[in-house]
Structure 1
């Protein structure tokens, strides 16, 4: 009976995800513009040689550069780096940034070769300052609700990506910026990073999932305390509270969290991609239900990996004492 309930719950979850994707597509189409597909984050050759893969930052006031997406290659093939790049606006969330992130997320969902995603900033000292309040001030009151709804759907879509997502927080992540990070599976912060849901300072509340996701990550009481007081904490404290998985000492180039995120993505990369996706789905859906139903969801997800070629490849590699070559099939 529990297995049947689990399968029904899983199917409902999959249908819900499809519905959310349809909504996201419609919203993205509503804000349509030709795709800026060649977002180019450039990586420093010297950093690549020593295994760090550091980002070389290039700034521009052109709105098409607000977001840069890099599909890594070589040994890092399968890792996608999404870099926010609005230095003059402290990476604040604008209409254009929302549109570009929708496009990037949609492209990633369609690419079954993607193994993991890193969300980071290309601007030193800032992850994302939250909503673009200068743009918001120019909006008519009737525009605010629909824009916040679009941002909420975007962050939900980010959370629903089937592959693992890692937020690399090397600077301030405030308001909507922290909400984006909360939608990621794993958060890594530099010790000097600043984080907080500070909306009550503006007499509003977190509107893109912050009240729900923060509570699930650090617990209801602590989430209430941080949100009610609009408190900002550093990376070290965030790690102590469980808001981030790792706090790393910031380096001179200001990308310590990114480098640690890249190391983690490289750990995930060689694992069976279908298995990783099913593990994420089982965890995400199971955590919202009772244990019995959660175990049934796990069983249903496990059933999805049994007929895969990757499972047979894993067994063969174990027998032959070699590294498996998974293809996501």
Structure 2
């Protein structure tokens, strides 16, 4: 998510962005109060089978936070002690971006991207762990890659299981959001898989990234971050959503505009001190859906911090943020 990363935190005044779509409410709710280590970027969160929560993020060697109650978060180091050697094929510092954590087949799976700002010479990798905790991950190398000759960018991975098959959304700029099928045994892209196109913008540079798909009722919902991140209080990130009855699309908003034509209902945008809301993911906790994202704190020099909000599903199936 993120073309990137944790860069350019600029102190400046910014007016709150107002919602402009029919699906938006008159005002956005603030994130749930959290304490402890709040600094984070591109968070992915899961409730562990052992109890408590872990969040992974861009920064460090996939930065880790843990919590017992989803309110107080503690710094837990990094997923890896040091970068796997192959990461250096994609940047000089072995810097990973935008992880995604999930659980299946008795193991936790962590997907992540390695790339450099402004290029689509990128790769998505995967690791597994028996506990989901930092320091327990075994890396399994590349899952899917992109090169400068491709019209997509292999970063910002997120997994979804649908109809007994495993899928991965990804994408940032370079004509937007894509999806490929994964082999559930290896966790890697199926050989010769079709690269499905899910969302784009009608104008270059096609500023949509950070996809995340969830199933609710008979629909799949595609959440994505639009516009610019990573500029502190000058960030214009916002979260939009559309839905489809098929995991591979087409995804359309509540007005019927396809995401491939620039559609998407505005779910959450900057307001008050909470600037540039995006880099989102969705997780379940005791049967309820939660939206995790970062925002830039206008009252703390644009520092990126953790945002958590409940998701409620309206009678017509569309999500709203609580």
Give TM-score, length-normalised by structure 1: 0.28
User: Which has more helix, going by share of residues?
Assistant: 1
Q: TM-score, normalised by structure 2?
A: 0.29
Bigger-Rg structure (1/2): 1
Relative to its length, the structure with more strand (as a share) is: 2
